[in-house]
Structure 1
Amino acid sequence: MSVIASRVQGTTARRRAGRFSVWVSYAILAAVALVVVFAGVLSPSSPTAQNLNDILLPMSGAHPLGTDDLGRDVLSRMLHGTRVSVLAAMLAVGIALVVGLPIGIAAGWGNRWLDVGIMRVVDAVMSFPAIVLAIGITATMGPNITNAMIAVGVVLAPAIIRLARAQTMTIRSETYIEAARSFGASGLRRMVLPHVLPNIIQPILVQVAVLMGFALIAEASLSFLQLGVQPPNASWGAVLARSYTFLDQAPMQIFIPGLAIAATVFACNIIGDEIQRLLDPKRK
């Protein structure tokens, strides 16, 4: 009995820890959303205002997160950078969804040759390392945040395509699809939109949440390499790059954007798991 009781207690503890991480993730994303909306109100100063008399100051009452090498308030740059980074990640995931979802459904619903043609292109794109391909596309189009996020969206699209294709191929063999066909239903409006799309949206939403985290990391990486946000504008990656340059003089400043990125990516992944749990039709 003691073994059974210990197992029950262990399961309960894991469930409580899981619920705690979910609520922490909700709090993180809510805080990020508030900063995105009210960055201009919360910011104590302009993110681009320079003061060469206050270079690389430590944390203080006047500058809660210190200043960078140009005397700019790091807190103001982080707040405005949150808006830029989050909106850029949303743009990238939106592009991936708009491009990948219809192509994936077409591959899973269409004939064999269409499926083979689409998937060979997808395999070719996925054969490249994601960040290297994004860097190449961004460098070709020109370094700015819009081009960088278009590149990231192109890189993320194959993940949506493969998932949408797999789910569509599973749905098309279901009994209710055959019944709909027997009543004469066919085409986009009568089959795909009412029957296929609602039944594949759950794993797509989970994938979108996970890709948001990847897009945040990709934006930070490209901005760190000066292929995304251009000076003097701020983003998490731009602040990270500036902090890394002066790591010896102000070592604490590099942790600020790093923690912001890590916490938000963690929250996106946890919320993705929570979406899967909530939308699972087999959940008790």
Structure 2
Amino acid sequence: MTAMTHSAPTAGAAADAGRPSGRPRLRRPRIARAASIVILLAALVLLLAGRWLTPYDPDAQDLTTVFAGPSWEHWLGTDDLGRDVLSRMIAGGQATIAASLFAVVVALGLGLPVGIAAGYLGGWVDTCLMRVVDALLAFPAIVLAIGVTASMGIGLFNAMLAVGVVLSPAIARLARAQTLSVKTMTYVEAARSFGARGLRGIILPHIVPNMIQPVIVQTSIVFGLAMLAEASLSFLQLGVQAPGSSWGAVLSRAYSFMSQAPLAILVPGIAIALMVFAANIMADEFQEWLDPKRRK
């Protein structure tokens, strides 16, 4: 008889044994928590912002306090018209976040059906749809958004509708690639063998649930891009119009008077940077969380 040896469990194995199975670990939990806090604060601003939440009326002018620095009365100071910057940032944050979410919905509404149809149907349908997508990708995104906004009319709604159209090709190409991969899986072939066909038989019950994971990750990235696009269009005065407020509009106004109040440009700039950074971090963490290979 041969002697059987048993090795002692390692520290890593002991730690894994104490962890609930099927629960993925995040690589950067502290950064992910910080990004989550930023996203939650943005959600609170979106849901709760209003004249009752802002310290002052965002549009109220007080020419006796022009370019006032931070104080107990005005935590972030005032702008060139004596308006409270904190109040305008809260009201502008609501407009910026809502407009960015609208652009994401437009991008998903256009990109997902086009990508799924191209990948599932193939043939001449795939060729025609992808050539349209390639044509949109051939134009610089911000230039195309400016052109669409100029043709439809200046305003936040038209600007973000244009941004959604510009961002939809990325969603379409990703959806097509995932559909091409999923439709060859064994469970899809088995469904076809039982007579399942089309939208209700194959696409909705089998393809969409199994290709949506990377789309969720891409949606977080698209949200950050939409926020940058809104800021760019409002900075160029193609988005929110005076006296309305958005982070891009506040940034544009502060830039016009940067020599008189150089610190005023930092407030909207930092807010935009933090939101885009948080969206990109959450995209990475969503990828880690949703990846089945990390569920150990």
Q: TM-score, normalised by structure 1?
A: 0.93
Q: Report how far residue 16 of structure 1 moved.
A: 8.5
Deviation string, structure 1 residues 242-263 (Cα, Å, up to 9, x no partner): 0001111111110100110000
Amino acid at match of 2:171: I
> Does residue 38 in structure 1 map to residue 48 in structure 2?
yes
Counterpart for residue 9 of structure 1: none
Counterparts of 2:79 and 2:199, CA distance in 1: 55
Counterpart for residue 12 of structure 1: none
Amino acid at match of 2:56: S
Secondary structure of 1:282's aligned partner = helix
Structure-to-structure mapping, 1:20-59, within 5 angstroms: 20-40=30-50, 41-59=52-70
Counterparts of 2:81 and 2:241, CA distance in 1: 15
From 227, 246, 253, give the equivalent of 2:264. Answer: 253
8 Å CA contact 2:115, 2:173 repeated in 1? yes
Secondary structure of 1:53's aligned partner = helix
Counterpart for residue 186 of structure 1: 197
From 174, 189, 192, give the equivalent of 1:163. Answer: 174
Q: How many residues align?
A: 271
Specify every segment of 5 or more residues in structure 1 that has no aligned partner in the other structure, as ranges: 1-14
Distance 1:17 1:165, change over 3 A: closer
Question: Could you say what the CA RMSD is over the residues aligned between the two structures, in angstroms?
Answer: 1.3
From 85, 101, 104, give the equivalent of 1:90. Answer: 101
Stretches of 4+ aligned residues off by more than 3 angstroms = none
Amino acid at match of 1:86: I
Counterparts of 1:113 and 1:39, CA distance in 2: 49
Aligned residues with identical type, % of pairs: 57
Q: TM-score, normalised by structure 2?
A: 0.89
Secondary structure of 2:28's aligned partner = helix
Q: Report how far residue 111 of structure 1 moved.
A: 3.0
Deviation string, structure 1 residues 53-88 (Cα, Å, up to 9, x no partner): 111111111111111111111000000000000000
From 261, 270, 278, give the equivalent of 1:267. Answer: 278
Amino acid at match of 2:54: S
Greater CA radius of gyration, 1 or 2? 2
Counterpart for residue 7 of structure 2: none
8 Å CA contact 2:26, 2:289 repeated in 1? no
Counterparts of 1:172 and 1:16, CA distance in 2: 30
Counterparts of 2:122 and 2:95, CA distance in 1: 42
Q: Report how far residue 18 of structure 1 moved.
A: 1.4
8 Å CA contact 1:22, 1:274 repeated in 2? yes
Q: Report how far residue 42 of structure 1 moved.
A: 2.6
Counterparts of 1:207 and 1:17, CA distance in 2: 19
More helix by share: 1
Deviation string, structure 1 residues 187-244 (Cα, Å, up to 9, x no partner): 1001000000000110010000000000000000000000000000000000000000
Counterpart for residue 241 of structure 1: 252
Secondary structure of 1:42's aligned partner = coil
Counterparts of 2:252 and 2:278, CA distance in 1: 23
Counterpart for residue 153 of structure 1: 164
8 Å CA contact 1:28, 1:263 repeated in 2? yes
Specify every segment of 5 or more residues in structure 2 that has no aligned partner in the other structure, as ranges: 1-24
From 129, 133, 142, give the equivalent of 1:122. Answer: 133
Deviation string, structure 1 residues 126-176 (Cα, Å, up to 9, x no partner): 000001100110011111000000000000000110000000000011111
Q: Report how far residue 98 of structure 1 moved.
A: 0.7
8 Å CA contact 1:35, 1:42 repeated in 2? no
